[in-house]
Amino acid sequence: MAFRTLARLQLLSLLLGLSSMDRSGAEAQEFQLLQPRGTVSVSAGETLTLTCSVTGLAPAGPVRWFKDSGSGRRLVYADAGSFPRVTRAVRGSDTDFTIRINDTLPEDAGIYHCVKFKKGLQGPDEEFRSGAGTAVSVGARPSAPSVSGPPSRAEPGPPVTFTCTSGGFSPRDITVTWLKNGAKLPDPQTQVLPAHQSVSYNVSSTVGVSLTRADARSQLTCQIEHSTLPAPLRATYTLSDVLRVPPRLQVGTAPAVPVALNTSVTFTCHAEGFYPKDASLTWLENGNETNLGKSSALSENADGTYTLQSSLEVKATEQRSQSMFTCRVVHDSQPPINASAMLRLSQPPAEPGKDPTSSAADSYLSEEKKIYIAVAVVCAVLVVLVIAVIYLIRVRQRKGKSSPSVRLHEPEKSPGPAPQDSDPNNLTYADLNFDKQKKRTPRFVEMSPQSEYACIQPAATEDNLTYADLDMVHLSKSPKRPAPRPEEAISEYASVQIQRK
């Protein structure tokens, strides 16, 4: 009886065990983990909601959230632990494991998995079931763009580089456009790089701009377009912050030079079209700083540049003739810029009764008189030398000719007669040259009662004399004689040579 009772109890427990096993298998088959497959887009800073739920009876164990898979899988949420930005949508629920991620960041982008674990008998929890995964994209808006220019002011001419930067945006695709006064600038250089330790991106774009004198009121704009932006972002740079336009100087006089002596002359200096407006103007006379003059108020031009004028009144004295008056402008702490004009005096008024045109001629001659006189003297000396040389040559040629000579005797002053040829040292003689053909025109010699003369007669034996050399003639007074009869000139000329006693 007792044996039968024991057998019945064992059979009952066996039936109950079999029934329990069938029930647990059925319950295991009925368990489901529901996680929608797809893509969720969210903007940075917004709240991201990830849905996950289970159905049926599940083995004991927690449900956890992970981002990505494999070696890069990272725990996002679990019931145990601290996750400041992640909370459950329904606290304490055994079936709803939906979570919310607040203040999403670009690095929150990835694939999220909802995973069911079961407790291990002696070790850590084992993964029991995993959801299909939800792809999350976080769109981060780019930060407000910032435009920077060169470190110092630049003058019109070569291109100047400007840079536009923005960062913290996602996805990577972004468009940067440069505009000058609304017109698109060509060929910007744009680089997109990942942010440091972040999946967001930064952009840097540069463009070269050639400044002009009219850019004092121009604007440069950097425009950024991105998928997260409802409208483009813009940053504006005023080119006047970097522009420097040197002044253009012009110096004039009123009245126009040259001017009359002791008249007043006004020098004017115009410094035009400069930017910025910081400028100072001074006057110099022959390099030395003089009266500052009278400066007008600074005026602004239509293109945004400035103009400054100054005048200096001086008296045209002789000491200031040919003086140089310089207008010096120092602009924006740059090296000075100079422009000069010379004070010139006109010729004094002509004297009464004097031809006014002669003053100009006299002035011209006074400048070149010395040159002309020197040239004239040199030419005159050369002419004299040439004439003397020619004369000497002809004289030598004439002396070289051989001709018959005649010896003439001069009467001695002593009372006693002396033969003419007794002493050769006391002879007076002359060699006369006569043409063979007689001249038709007779020559008359008139003797003054008070004249001193020498009587020269040709020898009878020689009737054709060519020339005569007269080295010295010794004349002595003789008593009055009747005027000689006119004689026909036979020789063309005579040269008489008489030795001294």
pLDDT, tens digit (0-9, with 9 covering 90-100), for 3-19 = 444 344 444 444 444 44
203 Cβ partners below 8 Å, 6+ apart? Answer: 142, 165, 166, 167, 169, 174, 176, 190, 191, 192, 193, 224
320 Cβ partners below 8 Å, 6+ apart? Answer: 285, 314, 343
Per-residue pLDDT tens digits for 309-351: 999 999 999 999 999 999 999 999 899 999 999 999 986 544 5
Question: Is 234 buried (19+), middle (13-18) or exposed (0-12) by CB count in 10 A?
Answer: middle
Name the CATH code of domain 25-139 (choices 3.30.460.10, 3.30.70.260, 2.60.40.10, 2.60.320.10). 2.60.40.10
Range in 85-89, 92-96, 100-104, 301-305 the model is least confident about: 92-96
Domain boundaries, the chain: 25-139, 146-241, 256-343, 369-400, 402-501
What sign results for the dihedral spanned by CA atoms 33, 39, 44, 45? negative
What are the φ/ψ torsions at residue 393 (nearest 5 degrees)?
A: -60, -45
Residue type, 459: A
pLDDT of res. 155 = 94
pLDDT of res. 232 = 96
Assign 435 a pLDDT band (cuts: 50, 70, 90): very low
pLDDT of res. 367 = 58
pLDDT of res. 249 = 94
**pTM of this prediction?**
0.57
Residue 224: closest CA among 193, 269, 192: 192
Q: Which CATH superfamily is domain 146-241 in?
A: Immunoglobulins (2.60.40.10)
The answer to whether 365 touches 278, Cβ cutoff 8 Å, is no
Return the percentage of the chain with pLDDT > 70, whole number: 69
195 Cβ partners below 8 Å, 6+ apart? Answer: 167, 168, 201, 202
Mean pLDDT of the chain: 78
Region of 449 on the Ramachandran plot (φ > 0 left; ψ -120 to 50 alpha; else beta): alpha
H or E stretch covering 39: strand 38-43
What are the φ/ψ torsions at residue 356 (nearest 5 degrees)?
A: -60, -25
Per-residue pLDDT tens digits for 260-295: 999 999 999 999 999 999 999 999 999 998 877 888
What are the φ/ψ torsions at residue 361 (nearest 5 degrees)?
A: -65, -40
Average pLDDT of span 396-420: 51
Token code pair at residue 450: 């008070």
Is residue 244 scored above 70 in pLDDT?
yes
Alpha carbons 201 and 46: distance in angstroms, whole number:
19
146-241 and 256-343 share one CATH topology? yes
Per-residue pLDDT tens digits for 158-176: 999 999 999 989 999 999 9
Average pLDDT of span 478-491: 51
Per-residue pLDDT tens digits for 92-106: 888 999 999 999 988
Fold of 256-343: Immunoglobulin-like (2.60.40)
pLDDT of res. 497 = 55
